[in-house]
Amino acid sequence: MQNQPGRTLAPQVALFDLDGTLTWKDTLLPFLRGYLARYPARVLRLWRVPLALAGYVVGVSDRGVLKSRLIRAVMGGESRARIDAWAASFVNNLHARGAFRPRALAVLSEHRAAGDSLVLLSASPDLYVPNIGRLLGFERTVCTTLRWRGDILDGHLNSANCRGEEKVLCLQELRGAYPDKPFIAYGNSLSDLAHMRQADRAVLVNGDAAARRLAGRWSIPTAEWT
């Protein structure tokens, strides 16, 4: 298998990040923009967005809080049926829009052919990430979860934002689910390196200069997926 350090013959767990690793770019903002295009009256709720961004910029809130506020501004109070319908449409069209990196899909297929367990680990929300997991044939998806009031979206985080050190905790839990298998982790960002360093093997994909420098310091191989 290409671009893998020290590939073993024994089955392993292949842990993939989503945004920027499997896809060319972020998926959350296109998901929210598409919902606004489908339901344009919701644009009137966006007066909250500048306040959310200001809170993040001055350090009053973190990425998880910002994510929650953006989602609540666009989708808060909407029904599960309406959101699920949009999520299904959004995910089903990802291939048609060329959202996935061809090399990423090839590596994913190679792992599947080798009999490896496939796990999707993403900071993006469970509004649509599990759909992507099913589309691409992952056996398990771990992502940021949101709160509901029955079948109405509340939008506050129901879990920690699945990013940085939180992914380290997720990796530790996953080791309990796959106790006899080594892990190989793929990610693209500086924040992904925290959990990638804890995997048995790792590849930094399409990382920026800062991520590549830190990966080099930690002896994590790099690759360019197109």
For residue 192, give the DSSP letter: G
CA-to-CA distance for 47 and 98, rounded, in angstroms?
32
The answer as to whether 218 is a domain residue is yes
Q: Is 7 among the domain residues?
A: no
Say what the pLDDT of residue 51 is: 87
* CATH code where residue 146 lies: 3.40.50.1000
Query: What is the pLDDT, as a whole number, of residue 3?
Result: 43
Q: What is the mean pLDDT of residues 120-145?
A: 98
81 forms beta bridges with none
What is the DSSP secondary structure assignment for residue 126, as one 8-state letter?
A: T
**Structure tokens given for 83:** 């959101």
Q: Residue 126 falls within a domain, yes or no? A: yes
> DSSP assignment, residue 100?
B
In a domain, residue 6? The reply is no
Boundaries of domain holding 92: 13-223
What is the per-residue pLDDT across 8-64, written as a single tens digit (0 to 9) for each? 568 999 999 999 999 999 999 999 999 999 999 999 999 989 888 898 888 878 999
Structural domains counted in the chain: 1
H or E, element range at 175: helix 165-177
Residue 2 lies in a domain: no
